[in-house]
Chain A
């Protein structure tokens, strides 16, 4: 479904990361892991829309956490409060709600975004661990996070979040992992979880056109019972089990 929604609030996380809050009220239920295609009505210079994960969702507000990396996100950042954007969604599948006791969240950089709603909807009351990694102190997102890593050690522990995951699994019982971050980070996390035989759900991101499963442009190779098949990130995903993804395809 396509909606026209006003921008209500802009939170600046740091120089190039923002949380934009739009009017909500959508026909379909929003689930953790879903995304929307976002397009400012005015002054948008790209053809295709921006697929952005839902960061959080209350009854009257939907939040998108994004990083300015190119033309599209730069145009979005310029949207003023009161101005409108077209939102198409909710799109994609969702993270699974797990009933196990020991659930772990692992995020890298802006990958924090889709995990936020999963945490709040599924595991808020539990005492969960969230390991987050970023380049440096300026790029840290720390809400709900209890273990942080920065590449340069300017905040939390020095090192990569993947090292943090390994260390945590060595010393703690974990039944399930939710993970999002750069591809290389998710791949490494999937490999580590596989060694410990722990299921891990990852949220993939790729260039998209239609966003609804029609064009097959956002193909990702997935292991299935038929061997390896190309599935769509936008409709079959973006959430996949780490062990199913054929990384580096």
Chain B
């Protein structure tokens, strides 16, 4: 009996553990068989190559992590020709994260990706805080999210996941817009916003100043956003934000997530995903339960 299986829109996942965009890559195959994961979500690609932000790009805080990578990526053409064939060797669902600088550019990118059979779904990045044109520029306006999702829906039948930012006035409004326009599922939350300053010199510890904030400290924020969205929409949620162990996964299921992504925790422990998977399975056997029985079952 597979107690771990879960459904995320059109995707049937053998287990609920995926890896968050930007925090993981094929390099991790040195540590474990990546085919054990529920799904893999790739680093966000953009139409043109992006060099990324001026260093320093990362900084640890108490119980958290600041990053200002700036979507460094080789651009869609090199991704398709060089990176995707490597991912094609994996047997698990491959979800491609991408971001455009205009609504039309999102569509152009999707049209290019749709030609690739190996792709199982898309995570639309409208929530990255570390760049000027792409990312969060789109995700804070429900009308923009609606139009964008509607355009993309016409191009693909594959799983369409919209990744939401918590840095908005009302995430439920954005979530409803994505649902109405035909999104299959929602991924939340992307990073919060944060800063870190050297108290001796006054210098920002991050080159660009404001950065994305992730890690264990943001878990309560993630949970409340998922809870809000779960009560606003019917489509499933891919939950993330500060997950560091198997018990956190249960919290996220209770709050409303059908599957989860582990991100920053991969830096803390490169084998956290499979350790979490093992312990979660053990717990479900002890409880004689399944992942699906927990989804949205928070008791208030």
Query: Which residues of A pack against B, CB within 8 Å?
Result: 1-2, 46-49, 88, 206-221, 229-230, 235, 249
- Interface membership of B23, Cβ < 8 A: yes
Using A1-B30, A210-B267 as known contacts, say yes or no to A46 and B72 having CB atoms under 8 A apart.
no
Using A209-B58, A215-B22 as known contacts, say yes or no to A230 and B52 having CB atoms under 8 A apart.
yes
- Interface membership of B35, Cβ < 8 A: no
For A46, the chain B residues whose CB sits under 8 A away are 60
**Most chain B CB neighbours (cut-off 10 Å) among A1, A46, A210, A211:** A210
Q: Name B266's closest neighbour in chain A (CB-CB).
A: A210
Among B63-71, B149-157, B179-187, the stretch that binds chain A is B63-71
Q: Which of B23-59 contact A (CB under 8 A)?
A: 23-25, 27-28, 30-31, 43, 51-52, 54-59
| Majority secondary structure, B binding face | loop
For A214, the chain B residues whose CB sits under 8 A away are 23-25, 27-28, 43, 266
Cα distance A49–B266 in the bound complex, in angstroms: 11
| Other-chain residue from B23, B264, B270 in contact with A88 (beta carbon distance below 8 A) | B270
Q: How large is the interface on B (under 10, 10 to 19, 20 to 34, 35 or more residues)?
A: 20 to 34
Cα distance A212–B54 in the bound complex, in angstroms: 20
**Most chain A CB neighbours (cut-off 10 Å) among B30, B43, B58, B264:** B58
For B1, the chain A residues whose CB sits under 8 A away are none
| Other-chain residue from A48, A230, A249 in contact with B267 (beta carbon distance below 8 A) | A48
For B93, the chain A residues whose CB sits under 8 A away are none
Closest chain B CB from A157 CB (angstroms):
31
Q: Name B216's closest neighbour in chain A (CB-CB).
A: A47
Cα distance A218–B53 in the bound complex, in angstroms: 11
Cα distance A249–B271 in the bound complex, in angstroms: 33
- Interface membership of B139, Cβ < 8 A: no
- Interface membership of B215, Cβ < 8 A: yes
For B56, the chain A residues whose CB sits under 8 A away are 206-207
For B266, the chain A residues whose CB sits under 8 A away are 210, 214
Cα distance A229–B28 in the bound complex, in angstroms: 23
Q: Is the CB of B63 within 8 A of A47?
A: yes
- Interface membership of B300, Cβ < 8 A: no
Q: Name A28's closest neighbour in chain B (CB-CB).
A: B30
For A219, the chain B residues whose CB sits under 8 A away are 52, 55, 57, 69, 72
Closest chain A CB from B54 CB (angstroms):
7
Q: Is the CB of B57 within 8 A of A249?
A: no
Cα distance A48–B57 in the bound complex, in angstroms: 15
Using A47-B60, A210-B266, A249-B54 as known contacts, say yes or no to A215 and B30 having CB atoms under 8 A apart.
no
Q: Is the CB of A216 within 8 A of B52?
A: yes
Cα distance A216–B268 in the bound complex, in angstroms: 15
30 A/B residue pairs, CB under 8 Å, sorted by A: A1-B30, A47-B60, A47-B264, A47-B268, A48-B60, A48-B267, A88-B270, A206-B55, A206-B56, A207-B58, A209-B58, A209-B65, A209-B67, A209-B267, A210-B27, A210-B270, A212-B28, A213-B27, A214-B43, A215-B267, A216-B52, A216-B57, A216-B69, A217-B57, A219-B55, A219-B69, A220-B55, A230-B52, A230-B55, A235-B27
Closest chain B CB from A228 CB (angstroms):
8
Q: Is the CB of A2 within 8 A of B58?
A: no
Cα distance A165–B128 in the bound complex, in angstroms: 46
Cα distance A88–B28 in the bound complex, in angstroms: 12
Please list the 3 inter-chain residue pairs (A to B) with the smallest Cβ-Cβ separation, ordered nearest first. A217-B58, A214-B25, A209-B267
